[in-house]
Structure 1
């Protein structure tokens, strides 16, 4: 658990974490995902170990890293959490590599329901968090893309944050990135980093992927990591790729193209306090007139 200190700028400021670490190295693994589930998982495990060898302390995988993305695939590839084979592989990899693993997403089966779920494993292989995608991807852009996750998936109903080595991290999945209220609640809970495994498509990706990531970073004055699968032009659903790391100033610190690769970068946590003290919008909000609250 991290200790907190009262902010000296204004008593209305939410208490902020006293970080035990000034920074850490993150790896965003942009995997090529195919129809072979075991091959997808094996490649993810390999990349987790390679990231550790390069100094990563936190490794994030992309959305639907163990299966093709599509409503027709979710039921076939679904498994229970944490008892499924993919979860066992992630837990073992995290423990053997000695890193925290944000396991992208996988189709989760829970009773009669299916969810798009992100699991998080600490460096001993313990399950730290599970986030079920809250906002389902139901869109219709004529002559470009029509998709309706709600035909198959159920929506999660929880804001998800976790702590690793004293650092508070928030989770969202792909379409969750479009909802600033969700990011606000995670920031209010003390997060200095938000991680979004996502697979924006070839229509919305070029327009909004980086833009939304930068918006959330600037809005909440924190780091944002976007972890995407690599592009496969032959796939039923084609991912934009472009995994990206954005700092609290809204600057892109590192990004990939559309090919399989790993983004490895340092996160300086002191930048969070720097931005929030220099541009103190968090204490200037007119909470006497408006506010963002968590209802349940």
Structure 2
């Protein structure tokens, strides 16, 4: 399975981000990726006050463009996350996945709200404008089952473990760590989850923009079930492309049987 992770700049004009994506996908055509992944809120500046104004219904202009691009390039498109509004007017941080025919095959609404106050560091409250989702998301592909969550969700080991118990051998995490949490926990967290769950983990961020109100850490990365960093970017715009074999997760689980050796009666 060839996976491409796009670390893009976020423009304030929503559809300009889709135009940028279209250029990147044309550039990737020659490498024939199976799955292309984007970052969290890749077409909306990461600011709580802006999420409602950028929000669209499922099936809106952004959704439609993403579906068309997946079909045009015959890829699985894990379209980072976008601001979604439901029929009741609630706003969510939502990740859509489209198959090679442009059909939506997965949808994850961020479950855990990023509400933090780090002394001398980052302050952010997603719950000011966003509503949490309530589902664990795993979807099927020709390569096997893949899990999906968004950024702060991945800090909760219970959710990652549930995805793996439901069959995921790769977990996709569009994310936007910042200049406080990124240096401290980004690589540490992704490697820890990969080792604990013996699965591939792909964390995709948007590029760093020092002029933005919220400055992303960047450092898009891909980690193996053994905890090795297969590739990691810096803070700049770009793309990494890697070929992985999901059966390697099965090999690691056979040789170091963490999942099958669990003692749930002890854990309570």
Scaled by the length of structure 1, what TM-score is found? 0.88
Unaligned runs of 5+ in 2: none
Aligned to 1:85: 61
The structure with the larger Rg is 1
User: Separation in 2 of the partners of 1:190 and 1:155?
Assistant: 24
How far apart are residue 52 of structure 1 and its match? 3.3
Q: State how far apart, in whole Å, the 1-side matches of 2:240 and 2:16 are.
A: 21
User: In the alignment, which of 195, 215, 220 is matched to residue 172 of structure 2?
Assistant: 195
In the other structure, the counterpart of 2:98 is 121
Q: What is the deviation of 1:166?
A: 4.1
Say whether 1:95 aligns with 2:68. Answer: no
CA RMSD of aligned residues (A): 1.0
Shift of residue 213 of structure 1?
Answer: 0.5
Q: Give the corresponding residue for 1:294.
A: none
Q: Name the counterpart of 1:233.
A: 210
1:160 counterpart = 2:137? yes
Please say if residues 40 and 175 of structure 2, whose CA atoms lie closer than 8 Å, have aligned partners that are also in contact.
yes
Alpha-carbon deviations, 1:23-68, whole Å to 9, x = none? x100000000021111111112222332332121000000001110
Partners of 1:186 and 1:117 in 2: CA distance: 17
CA deviations on 1:53-107 (whole Å, 9 max, x unpaired) are 21210000000011100101101111011x1111111000000000000000000
Matched with 2:34 is 57
TM-score w.r.t. structure 2 length?
0.98
| Counterpart contact for 2:34–2:75, Cα < 8 Å | yes
Structure 1 stretches of 5 or more lacking a match? 1-23, 292-296
Range moving further from structure 2, 159-168 or 250-259 = 159-168
2:176 is paired with a residue whose SS is coil
Query: For residues 52 and 164 of structure 1, do their structure 2 counterparts lie closer, same or farther at Cα, with a shift above 3 Å needed?
Result: farther
